[in-house]
Homo-oligomer: A and B are copies of this chain.
Amino acid sequence: MKKLLNAPSDLVKEALAGMAVAHPDLLRVQLDPAFLVRADAPVRGKVAVLSGGGSGHEPLHGGFVGRGMLDAACPGAVFTSPTPDQILEATRAVDGGAGVVHVVKNYTGDVMNFEMAAELARDMGIATETVLVNDDVAVENSLYTAGRRGVGTTVLVEKICGAAAEAGRGLADVAALGRRVNDHGRSMGLALTPCTVPHAGKPSFELGPDEIEVGIGIHGEPGRRRAKLEPADRLTEMLMDPILDDLPFRAGKDVLLFVNGLGGTPLLELYVVFRKAHELAAARGLRVVRSLVGPYITSLEMAGVSITLLEVDEEMVRYWDAPVHTAALRWGV
């Protein structure tokens, strides 16, 4: 295993310490239990938006903490759910009296621990709402999931809910908007290589020299099938066809197209995929009005790509465009 780390057990803690000194204007880090909050938390009277999950998907979620996006992020160990006490303490730290929205990717451990934290928060008088993200069209049920997995749409839910909360919308409104984003977003990914979880020390699965995993999960969960490596245009079709065939994409609609790198794939290749995905969306009569290209929800150093398509309405576009100031997404400020 070749990685830039000290003890594997210190990786997440040391990375958080790095974020704290790199972005003191944006966020504060607490180490026991571990979470990040925006520098000015809690913001009195504002709905707070909180997410979390296993580490190893950076910049998700810690890189999205800041003005206009997440109030807090709870990083678990690599590919391991955060604990209920982490989530509870972060929820308490960011509640400004208007309640807290939990954005939860649909993995069994995450769902369970966020539920427990939400109950404990309620007992303390903090109102919470949960937005469950389950946008991965690859498979129903998976290694760590009942139903569909939550992947790329999570980034879009966090941005749009964060902007709505910043604009002063109420708890129920922000949560309803987040659910609408999830309902209108669909994703699928493929891997060219596996990745290595530091405390395991070896790759989580194996792929032959010309083999890929179509429909890969962000923890290396099996997808739909193993396939041979093919030209990028054909691989892009393998992802776009199932996405486009799923609800809700209708000709004439506006979409946000998000081509995401899984960690080890050069930007050059992501733009090759974006080019073809854009062409395929246009061929179905969809108008790409916003785009995002880069590694935003990763699987450590895995080589591969995922595509997320979000059918947007005017309100979503407005909140997408609203100012955001985080380590990984920033505009308007």
Chain A residues proximal to chain B, CB less than 8 Å: 2-7, 11-12, 14-19, 21-23, 55-56, 58-59, 63, 78, 192-193, 209-210, 212, 229, 231-233, 235, 263-275, 278, 288, 291, 293-295, 298, 300-301, 303, 305, 325, 327-328, 330-333
Contacts and interface: CB of A to CB of B under 8 A. Distances in A.
Contacts of A333: 331-332
B210 A21 contact: no
A224 B276 CA distance: 42
B303 A2 contact: yes
A23 B278 CA distance: 12
B6 A301 contact: no
B2 A275 contact: no
Given A11-B272, A301-B303, A5 B232 contact: yes
Contact of A263 (B6, B22, B264): B264
A273 B4 contact: yes
B6 A231 contact: yes
A272 B231 contact: no
Given A5-B232, A18-B274, A291-B22, A266 B330 contact: no
- A-B pairs, top 5 by smallest CB distance, nearest first, are A18-B271, A18-B275, A4-B269, A58-B267, A15-B271
- Counting every copy of the chain, the complex holds 2
Contact of A273 (B18, B212, B293): B18
Given A21-B278, A273-B18, A331-B330, A305 B268 contact: no
A5 B269 contact: yes
Contacts of A193: 2
Contact of A22 (B78, B235, B293, B327): B293
A2 B229 contact: yes
A18 B233 CA distance: 12
Given A2-B210, A11-B272, A294-B328, 12 more contacts: A2-B303, A4-B192, A6-B272, A15-B269, A15-B272, A18-B275, A21-B288, A22-B291, A59-B267, A267-B298, A268-B300, A325-B331
A258 to B, nearest CB: 10
